[in-house]
Structure 1
Amino acid sequence: MFVVSTMFISTSSYAATILILGDSLSAGYGMSEEQGWVQLLRDQYPEHDIINGSVSGETTAGGLRRLPSLLTSSEIELVVVELGGNDGLRGFPPNQLKSNLTKIINLSQDSGANVLLTEIMVPPNYGPRYTKMFNDVYHDLADDFDIPLAPFFMMEIAANPDLMQRDGIHPNQDAQPKITQWMQPWIIDALKK
C-alpha cells in the first residue's frame, strides 16, 4: 500500500528557484511534460520557479556535463539530484557513480545551492553485491555531505502494475501525483536548510 503524508506543508515566503536534475523518471517519459510529477509540483507551488533539467536516458556523467550551464542560467536555491538509474541499468561501476555524484554535489554547493539527493535502487540483475554497493553510494554521500536523502520514490510504485507503463520500468500518468506527494515534503524541507 502506498502511504503519503497528508500533513500540511507550508512554503517559504520567498520565491525560490529549484532545479530537478534527473532522468526519465523525472522527465515524464511516455507522457506529455504537463502530466509529469515535476509539472504537478509546479502547479502546487506557483511561487517557486521549478526548472526541469531532466533528460530521459541520462546518466550521472551526462548530468554532470550539463550541470554547469544549468547552474549559470538562473540563481538556483536547490538542486534535486535524481540520477543513477541508467548507470545501474548499464552496470557502471559504483565508484564511477560516486565520483560523478560527488562532483554534482560539489558544483551545486559551490554555486550556493542546497542539495537534495534522491535514493536510486536498481533491479538485482547484477547480483546482491553490486546492488548493495550501488545503494550504499547514496547513503554514504548523504552522510559525507550532510545532505538529505529522499527514499526512492519508485519502491511502492514499481510493485503496483497499475502504476507502471508497459515496459515495467517507468511510472505511468496515474503514478505522477503519488510521486509529487512523496517528493513534496522533502523538497520544501530542503529549501529551508
Structure 2
Amino acid sequence: MHLSIERFNLKSQLRAIVYGSTTISGCFNLLQFGQRLKTIYLVITLSIAAILFTTAAHGANNTIVVLGDSISAAYGVPTEKGWVSLFENRLKQENKSYNVINASISGETTDGGVKRLPEIIRRHNPSILLIELGGNDGLRGFPLNIIKANLQTLIDQAKENNITPVLIAMRIPPNYGRRYTSGFFDIFTTVAEENNVSLVPFLLEDIALKPGLMQSDGIHPTESAQPILLDHIWETLTPLL
C-alpha cells in the first residue's frame, strides 16, 4: 500500500516538473529543462531512499534472535522439535509476523556470545534478543564476575542498537558448592534488575529433576520437554510481542 502511494506521488511530481511550466513561446528553455532534470533525479533518489528505509525498519521490527547454547540449539532432539522451532510455529499460529533466527551453538559461553553478537546484529538487525547463555560458563567454573560482566556486555550491545534484550536464567548442579551455585543463579536476577530487562525464570523449572524430561546426561532436556521450555519463555515474552 505504501509503495503504490509513493509511486503515485512520484508520478504526479514528475508530471508537474516536466509539464508544469513553459516559456512564453511555448518551448522549454534549455537551462530550465536541465534544472528540471536535476529535480527529477533528486525526487527519484529521495523516493528510493524512503522506500529502502521503510523496508529496513519493517524488517528490524519483526526479527527475534535467540542467542543460546545447546539448550536452544536442540541438542539431542530433532531441530524441528526444539523449543525455538516450536516458538516460531506458535508465533505463526498466533498471527504474529516475526522472523526467528536461532543463533545458538552447542557449548557456547557468554564470552563467545559477546564476540559473535555484533555480526549477528549487523546481519539480522533484530528488535528482540533472547539471551540464553551462562550455563556452560557455570559448568566450567568460570569466575562469577566474568559471567556477569559478559551478560552485561550482551545487554549493552543490544540496547546500543535499539534491541530489546530478554535474559533467560539458568542453574547449575549443587555439586559445585552452595556458594558458587547460589551466586551463579543470582547473577541473572541482579543483571536483569540493574538493567530493567525482562527475565525468564529458571528455564528448566519443572524439568531438571524429572528423569523422563531429561536426557541421560542429566543436562539436556528431551523432546518431550521442549513444549514446556517454550511455555516458560512464552509467558515472559508475550507482553513484548
- Tell me the TM-score normalized by structure 1: 0.88
Q: Within 5 Å, which residues of 2 pair with 1:24-173? A: 24-46=70-92, 47-173=97-223
Q: Does 1:17 align with 2:75?
A: no
- Could you say which structure has the greater relative contact order, defined with CA pairs below 8 angstroms and 6 or more residues apart? 1
User: How far apart are 1:159 and its partner, in Å?
Assistant: 1.1
Residues 116 and 190 in structure 1, CA contact (< 8 A), matched pair in contact too: no
The percentage of counterpart residues that share the same residue type is 42
SS at match of 1:18: strand
User: How far apart are 1:155 and its partner, in Å?
Assistant: 2.1
Q: Distance in 1 between matches of 2:160 and 2:225?
A: 34
SS at match of 1:73: helix
Q: Distance in 2 between matches of 1:31 and 1:173?
A: 6
Q: Distance in 2 between matches of 1:68 and 1:75?
A: 10
Q: Distance in 2 between matches of 1:95 and 1:74?
A: 30
Q: Distance in 2 between matches of 1:38 and 1:98?
A: 25
After superposition, what is the alpha-carbon deviation per residue over 1:99-133, rounded to whole angstroms, capped at 9, x for unaligned?
11111000011111001101111111221111121
Name stretches of at least 5 consecutive residues in structure 1 with no aligned partner. Answer: 1-13
User: How far apart are 1:190 and its partner, in Å?
Assistant: 3.1
Equivalent pairs, count: 178
Which is worse superposed, 116-125 or 97-106? 116-125
Which is worse superposed, 90-99 or 150-159? 150-159
SS at match of 1:26: coil
Over the aligned positions, Cα root-mean-square deviation in angstroms equals 1.3
Greater gyration radius: 2
Q: Which has the higher helix share?
A: 2
SS at match of 2:206: helix
Q: Distance in 2 between matches of 1:134 and 1:190?
A: 27
